Amino acid sequence: MHTRPLILASVVTLLPALQAADPAADNPLFAESPLPLHYPQFDRIRPEHFRPAFTAALAAHQQEIEAIAQAPAPATFDNTIMAFDASGRFLNRVDNIFSNLASADTNPTLQQLEQELAPQLAAHTDAIHFNAALFARIRAVYDRRATLGLDAESLQLVERIYRDFVRGGAKLSPADQTRLQALNAEIASAETTFSQNVLKEKNADGLLVDTRAELAGLTEGEIDAAAAAARAAGHEGKFLLALQNTTGQPVLASLRDRSVRERLMQVSLARGSHGGPYDNRDVVIRLARLRAERANLLGYPNHAAYQLAEQTIGSVDAVNQLLAQLAGPAVANARLEARNLQTLVDREHGGFPVTAADWDFYADQLRRRLYHFDAAEVRPYFELNHVLIDGVFYAATRLYGVTFKERHDLPVYEPDVRVFDVFNEDGSQLAIFLVDYYARPSKRGGAWMNQYVYQSGLLGTKPVVANHLNIPKPAAGQPTLLTLDEVKTAFHEFGHALHGMFSNVRYPRFAGTRVPRDFVEFPSQVNEMWRYWPEVLQHYARHYQTGAPMPAALLQRVLDAEKFNQGYDTTELVAVNVIDQAWHQLKPSEIPGDIAAFEAASLQRAGVDFPPVPPRYRSTYFSHSFGGNYSAAYYSYFWSEVLAADSVEWFKAHGGLNRASGDHFRATLLSRGGSRDARELFRDFAGGEPDVKPLLHRRGLDQPPAALGI
């Protein structure tokens, strides 16, 4: 999941105006969109509109901020705190559209502007945090907050905004504020460079293969797609295996030629670290040092402590303890899984030790032997439209009473994007939902949810929410058949969408997914449970040609195989979390110069240095961490899964898929956004504190895999 935080900022240096300024009347970004729910006018928005819109929006926001800071009346909640939260609407409208398009449908113009804007937007935030007059007014309200008779959400807003300012450097000396401003600008610029390097290398590189025979094991469609990719890259007659953003590559499970598998794994692991224009090694080292220095300047021992101070898990020690609890069982199970794979290789007289390049191929064979289950066997039952309409939407209707109606009258930025109105049970409109599921070169990797418009009672706005996946688009006329992982991802990202759509708060600061980073993944992981819920699965898992439901025996094999390979899956996640924490628990003077050696030493200390299971990402292509949003916080997926595993048990105990349970989840948690402490919201919903045991059981880590007897 990816969203850009709410921008609350003034301006130090305005962006330079265009030589030929675009008149406001011709620029659709200068006014609220007249389309339903202020849905963006994608048919009118052009790349050249953004620069003048940002220039004007920054200037307008500066005036708003100065009006609040210099108001002659004494500071009150309404004229200071609420006014501040409502400010910057023009700027946020422009930035929401820009940042979303820069992720989903970028181009060189947007990328160049993104580079320019990163330090500028950091400067906005700094300037407002350093505004002494404004902070004095905010502090005046904060100091007497207990006497103002505020409701709970308003009190939370006062405290949250005050903490934002303190964490933003409002209490620093002028000299330290100047240094913090420079650090923030450098960090923002470096994060943008890192992310763009990852995307550019993904599009430029891959593994070039000479012959069709070397791709034995892939489907004809996959081979044809590789041929088309090579042709587009100027290598007629060859085959190009494009890279996905993770270390492991999906085709490794099918490629029979071991030398091709090894070459592909080497290419994947080397990303961002083999020289050339997209090398991220210096960027990683510089970012780690800059973040550590910033944390020290703000009074924290390291960047991890700075990040975790606002998270629900509580502390750096708590994160380290969580990873330690998972590392031992995960690696122990991974080693047993490796022995089973080695047994399979030896029985086939392979004559080689299992490596990371071999794991997926032999794990897929082993899965077939143990469960009589071939992943390709289920794909005909997971046609994209059925998964979306009859699965994802159906579960939401059964749980929450919401309904969906596709509309074709609103413009889209790419022809494959679909748009749906979302309605409450009483027929009132809840939101607009965009679906952008296909991969393309202009789109960053992974899957995420974002918002073009956030809900706010204060501003009178309703949500416009989008989900993005990266499903390979089939040839014209062919169905889009999803893998098990892609089905899971569709349900997961829609959990984020529900969090945004169900938002029912007054203040923009708390809308939807504006919650602690380690809480934001929780509702989405809960929503994954419905993909296998019998009533839901029977409704959408139907053969795309015959309409026949998935056979019960096949479904049972799928369910039986769910905990297969969890030692591997959990170990690669623990390993990348170890890397994330290792970088960000250092002082500036401790930042190393050799990334590979640092990663190896960190994994060894944590007991997760098992070569057949490399980290899900290495530092040089770890966009979650070094692209910004999840730095020192990638553990959030594990912590959210702890919360989600507990919540799944709650749903099961309360009858599963029913309106009473759904309405309770919506009322106590999904609709509350960040308007209350996240741990309190969890207790309101689940009735107690989270426990790690359901997660260990869910992943099959509470018992080792049996030795393979073949």
Report the distance separating Cα 258 and Cα 228, nearest Å: 23
Q: How far are the Cα atoms of 166, 577, 606 from residue 570, in angstroms, in the given order? A: 37, 11, 14
Which residues does 560 contact at the CB level (< 8 Å), separation at least 6? Answer: 371, 373
Count how many Cα atoms sit within 13 Å of the Cα of residue 72 in the half-sphere of its side chain: 0
Structure tokens, 79: 């004229």
Other CB atoms within 10 Å distance of the CB of residue 488:
15
Report the distance separating Cα 675 and Cα 160, nearest Å: 10
DSSP state of 373: -
The residues facing 420 across adjacent strands are: 406, 433
The residues facing 208 across adjacent strands are: 240
Helix, strand, coil % over all residues of the chain, rounded to 5? 60, 5, 35
Report the distance separating Cα 417 and Cα 433, nearest Å: 10
**Cα torsion for 331, 336, 342, 348, to the nearest 10°?**
-140
Catalytic residue among 214, 486, 493, 528: 493
Which residues does 184 contact at the CB level (< 8 Å), separation at least 6? Answer: 119, 122, 123, 125, 126, 294
Helices (H) and strands (E) counted in the chain, each on its own, are 28, 7
Which residues does 610 contact at the CB level (< 8 Å), separation at least 6? Answer: 331, 334, 335, 338, 571
Report the distance separating Cα 142 and Cα 134, nearest Å: 12
> Phi and psi of 374, rounded to 5°?
-110, 125
Catalytic-residue membership of 222: no
Pairing of strands 429-438, 464-471: parallel
Report the distance separating Cα 253 and Cα 334, nearest Å: 17
Report the distance separating Cα 492 and Cα 500, nearest Å: 13
The residues facing 542 across adjacent strands are: 549
Q: How far are the Cα atoms of 17, 79, 97, 340, 437 from residue 108, in angstroms, in the given order? A: 19, 42, 17, 48, 22
Give a three-class secondary structure readout of 212-239: HHHHECECHHHHHHHHHHHHHCCCCCCE
DSSP state of 389: I
Pairing of strands 418-423, 239-241: unpaired
The residues facing 239 across adjacent strands are: 209
Q: Which helix (H) or strand (E) holds 450?
A: strand 448-453
- Rounded to a whole number of angstroms, the CA Rg of the chain reads 25
Structure tokens, 436: 């952008």
> Phi and psi of 542, rounded to 5°?
-130, 145
Active site residues: 493
